[in-house]
Structure 1
Amino acid sequence: MATAPQQPRWTGSLRLRLLVATVCGVALAVLLAGIVLDSLFREHVLRQFSASLSQHLDQLTARLEFDAQGRPVIDPQSLSDPRWQRPYSGLYWQVDEAGGAGPGQAAVLRSRSLWDTRLVLPADALPGGAVHAHEGRGPADSSVLMLERTVQSDAQPGARWRLVVAADLHEVRAATSRFSGVLAPSLAVLLVLLALAAWAQVGIGLKPLRALQDAVQGVRQASAGRLHGRFPSEVQPLVDDFNAILDDQAAGLARARTHAGNLAHALKTPLSVIDQAAARALRTHDSELARVVQEQLGLAMRQIDWHLARSRVAATRRLPGLRTPIGPAIAGLVRVMERVHAQRGLRIRVAPCAQQLSFAGEAQDLQEMLGNLLDNACKWAAAEVKVWVEAAAIDTRAALAVHIEDDGPGIAAADVETVRARGVRADETVPGSGLGLAIVQDLVGLYGGRLDLEPAAPRGLHAVLLLPAAAVPGKAQSVNS
């Protein structure tokens, strides 16, 4: 059968998917915030820079005068900022002739800070008094921001002059670079902190699912019959529905078991009547027919018990919450065997076992399996039968290993598979129907266990019954020898 392709690991984990989605969303938000903050800071710094430059332009305009010929005159000493006087200081001013009919003259006046250079202005026309801002090239090919205004003299209305102030943009760009250098690692740290917060939030948010998993595991391991615990309101409806399904399953299995019991009673009653009639016929006169009928009735009763046990286990082996303590079950069966075989003087030695060891199944099934093995051991034992229990494992599941050993003749290795067959008896001189080991083998197989038969030392048979164990929450299973 073709199997479905396995999903990538990250798509199979709800925790990882939520964490990746959250971190990606937070990273995108932090990135956009960084771009917006950097842009806002650049705009703010440039606005402040332009405002400062505008004040210088206003001061230059206020200090502008005209001589008798209508030529512009500015006293450098009247300007307050000393950078106007320092060559290549980064702050410059210049006055150009805008020209009337002609092209005009550049750098009619200029600040000492320009030294032997001049500002190259774009060829544009401005209305009187309007301020125009644009970037250009300054001394030493530096990038500068220029603000210009057009003015004219009252004495010569036809003459127009362009007043320009410029400042080097290096400091502005250095400030924005420093801000970006601080902003980037700060946002990176913020992203890490938000990712950790998202990880904690996902862990806390999904913690109830871990509790739900533990509760389901308890049901699966037969340590509980229903899901118990406190769950969030989003998960509680799922828990209630699952518990309702478990209740319906238990009710259906109870009805099936009741029907099976009714069927057994309906069959056993007429069979018992026939058996009693055959027994009376044997008491009055020796009848071969009555003897055969009685023997076959005994076999039929055993077959009914066997098939009912199979159907019961098939219905209940997946039922959660089944739990049968192993110690009391063994003790009760040993008391029965001691009474049944009292005339033989057998010693049945039972090693103490831990109280928490329990079988994950029906008590009746456990008694059926252990009773058959103990009965066989007592039938064949010469003087002693030993019983002990220890913790084991079936694949990765917790299990119980029940050991039953007798000192009888044992079974040859070649005959082990033969005696497992239904209706086969190792010795016809010993009473029995030959169904005991077959019933045990079928029952333990339905529970997912195993029955092993091996020679005992120095003689006898050693039977090992491997059964699923009911989990004990919070405790490891152990056996006291």
Structure 2
Amino acid sequence: MMRSLRLRLAVGAVIAIGLVLLVAWLSLTRLFTDYVVERYRSEMTTIVDTLAAELTLKDGKLSLAREPADPRFDLPNGGRYWQVSPLTGDSLRSRSLWDVAIDPDAPVGSRYEGFSVSAGPDGRPMLVHSQTLSLGESAPAVRFVASAAFPQRELDEALRDFQAPLRLMLLATAGVLAAAAFLQNAIGLAPLRRLRERAASVRAGRDRDFGTYGPSEVQPLVSEINLLLKEREMAVERARARASDLAHGLKTPLTVLAQLAERLPAEDRGLALRQVELVRQRADRQLQAARMGVERMATTSVMGLGGKLVSVLRPVTAERDVAWKIAIDNALSLDVDPADLAECLGNLLDNAAKWARSFIRFSARRDQGAITILIEDDGPGIAEQDRGPILKRGARLDTTDDREPEGTGLGLAISADIADAYGATLTLERSDLGGLRVRLTFPVRVERRPLRDPA
């Protein structure tokens, strides 16, 4: 089943043009054939009438007072032939027939365009027009068959001479009609292309709806989409309100639990506080997942957002003399919600800031159909066998580094989930700096997908 409107219209136009031109071909060919055949029949009838007018009856025998004046009758195989065949007696015929006689009793079935077919003096078919006449008004009146003929190839050549330019004309007409059909197709579908661009603008957050743009035929569809967008916006607001209520509802109980945990014995206090923090982190992740499921897209500058994140982290690493290098084109942007991209890059940059010894490199580039973001450090890195497990929630690696950071191990997992929600991929590699390289690859045209269940 064809799902493309353009293809459907093109196929319909080709079929319609083909049918019309086929009918035109058959009709014009038939009309011209009838016209040429009628001209030849008229010529043959004139010859027969001329023969009949010149015939005389003497002693019961037919004789021709004067032969037709056309010189082709006097040349052997001259191209025009006549014959007078009485029912009894010898026949009279033109010299052009040479030693061939026209059979006046040829079977009716052997006919071509209304003419009888007979062998000519050259052995090729000739077309014969015959009439049965009588001469004399008294009882001894003589009946005879008067025939006139011409070569069949003359009729065939006349038809071919007509059909050759007709084919060229119809092919040229087909080309013009096809071009007109495809032009009409392009013009007719142009509003749909502009509607698609408007949809991309709505999706990117630059417009709230389609407005009243579009031809009258698609206005009902545009109106329904606008209503759907309005209902979606209301659902977003309700979801935000519920998320805010949930955040506030969890904040107070978690604070109370943390205060109660401070009163526990020392051997239990740390475990209880870590569990409270784990609940807070997972609640925050659930709220993030709910927000990502309903927020609209927006175009975000990678350099603009990345520069802000680095400016926040740079003072944290300054006391360890960690240098930063940023190599990002100012024109590079992604159709990603700024808050989502900030959380994703923030976790990755924060991880690099915690583990880097002296240098962090933050770069981004466009590679054909993708935008690649690289965050590299010269820290201890992650062993290849540990790179998969570390992307799971709560996973932390045993390390002998005396700067082991606090946290629950959710940072890399959250970044991986956000990347997956936008159709991007997050991979961990070894950097040429000696530490970890995080490669984040976004498609140029981002299609948001449902976020994985964070439970």
TMscore range, shorter length: 0.7 to 0.9
Distance 1:254 1:58, change over 3 A: same
Task: Check whether the contact 2:47–2:68 (CA below 8 A) recurs between aligned residues.
Answer: no
Q: Which one of 364, 368, 381 corresponds to residue 389 of structure 1?
A: 364
Task: Check whether the contact 1:93–1:111 (CA below 8 A) recurs between aligned residues.
Answer: yes
Who is 1:380 aligned against? 355
Who is 1:309 aligned against? 288
1:57-96 deviation per Cα after TM superposition (whole angstroms, max 9, x unaligned): 46326xx477xxx86786836x673769948675556585
Q: Which one of 18, 35, 39 corresponds to residue 41 of structure 1?
A: 35
Distance 1:334 1:36, change over 3 A: same
Q: Which one of 89, 96, 101 corresponds to residue 106 of structure 1?
A: 89
1:16-415 equivalent positions in 2, closer than 5 A: 17-18=11-12, 21-22=15-16, 24-26=18-20, 28-33=22-27, 35-57=29-51, 59-60=53-54, 64=56, 76=65, 81=69, 86=74, 90=80, 92=82, 94=84, 96=86, 106-107=89-90, 110=92, 144-152=128-136, 157-162=138-143, 165-170=146-151, 173-207=152-186, 208-209=188-189, 212=192, 216=196, 236-237=218-219, 241=221, 244-245=224-225, 247-248=226-227, 250-274=229-253, 287-288=263-264, 296-315=275-294, 322-341=298-317, 343-355=319-331, 357-392=332-367, 398-415=369-386
Q: What amino acid sits opposite 2:395 in the alignment?
A: V
Q: Secondary structure at the match of 1:167?
A: strand
Which deviates the most, 418-427 or 15-24?
Answer: 15-24
* Residue 409 of structure 2 is aligned to residue 434 of structure 1: yes
Once the two structures are aligned, what percentage of the paired residues are identical?
22
1:220-262 deviation per Cα after TM superposition (whole angstroms, max 9, x unaligned): 796687779997666x45xx626743x4554454344433432
Q: What amino acid sits opposite 2:183 in the alignment?
A: I
**1:276: Cα distance to partner?**
5.7
**1:42: Cα distance to partner?**
4.1
Task: Check whether the contact 1:117–1:139 (CA below 8 A) recurs between aligned residues.
Answer: yes
Paired residues in the alignment total 421
Distance 1:160 1:31 in 2: 50
Q: Secondary structure at the match of 1:262?
A: helix
1:88-132 deviation per Cα after TM superposition (whole angstroms, max 9, x unaligned): 675556585x8xxxxxx535x95785999988766xxxxxxxxxx
Q: What amino acid sits opposite 1:241 in the alignment?
A: L
Who is 1:450 aligned against? 425
**1:383: Cα distance to partner?**
3.1
Task: Check whether the contact 1:85–1:111 (CA below 8 A) recurs between aligned residues.
Answer: no
- Please tell me the root mean square deviation across aligned C-alpha atoms, in Å: 4.6
Task: Check whether the contact 1:324–1:359 (CA below 8 A) recurs between aligned residues.
Answer: yes
Q: Secondary structure at the match of 2:131?
A: strand
Task: Check whether the contact 1:452–1:463 (CA below 8 A) recurs between aligned residues.
Answer: yes
Distance 1:135 1:188, change over 3 A: closer
Q: Secondary structure at the match of 1:168?
A: strand
- Give 1 or 2 for the bigger CA radius of gyration: 1
Who is 2:449 aligned against? none
Q: What amino acid sits opposite 1:152 in the alignment?
A: G
**1:334: Cα distance to partner?**
1.5
Which deviates the most, 50-59 or 361-370?
Answer: 50-59
Distance 2:234 2:214 in 1: 32
Q: Secondary structure at the match of 1:169?
A: strand
**1:325: Cα distance to partner?**
1.8
Distance 1:322 1:135, change over 3 A: same
Q: Secondary structure at the match of 2:292?
A: helix
Q: What amino acid sits opposite 2:38 in the alignment?
A: H
**1:378: Cα distance to partner?**
1.5
Distance 1:411 1:188, change over 3 A: same
Distance 2:177 2:405 in 1: 73
Task: Check whether the contact 1:310–1:442 (CA below 8 A) recurs between aligned residues.
Answer: no
Alignment TM-score, normalising by the size of structure 1: 0.70
Mind listing any 5+ residue stretches in structure 2 that lack a counterpart? Answer: 106-113, 447-455
**1:409: Cα distance to partner?**
2.9
Q: What amino acid sits opposite 1:325 in the alignment?
A: S
Task: Check whether the contact 1:377–1:406 (CA below 8 A) recurs between aligned residues.
Answer: yes
Q: What amino acid sits opposite 2:280 in the alignment?
A: M
**1:362: Cα distance to partner?**
1.1
Which structure has more relative contact order (CA 8 Å, sep 6+)? It is 1
Who is 1:467 aligned against? 442
